[in-house]
Amino acid sequence: EALFVELVKVLFAQRRKTIFNNLRAGRTRLGLIDDAVITATLAAAQLDPRRRAETLTLNEAGQLADLISALHL
């Protein structure tokens, strides 16, 4: 749950930015190593990295949080 809250903060940290750019800016907060990991995680979630955070459904954000969490296992 804490990771989900942190993910939402990162996704909405910079208005009008894409999901990819916000994840890149907040990657250390989420434990994402580099751009390749971000790209792979978004691909696994079947999310277009050019989308904006406000277009994500709660289910999509939850799935993204689950995938990020799985990287830390």
For 70, other C-beta atoms within 10 Å of its C-beta total 10
Contacts of 68 (CB under 8 A, 6+ apart): 3, 7, 30, 31, 32, 41
Model confidence, pTM: 0.92
Check: CB of residue 30 under 8 Å from CB of residue 6.
Answer: yes
- pLDDT by residue for the chain (73 residues), tens only, comes to 899 999 999 999 998 999 999 999 999 999 999 999 999 999 999 999 999 999 999 999 999 999 999 998 7
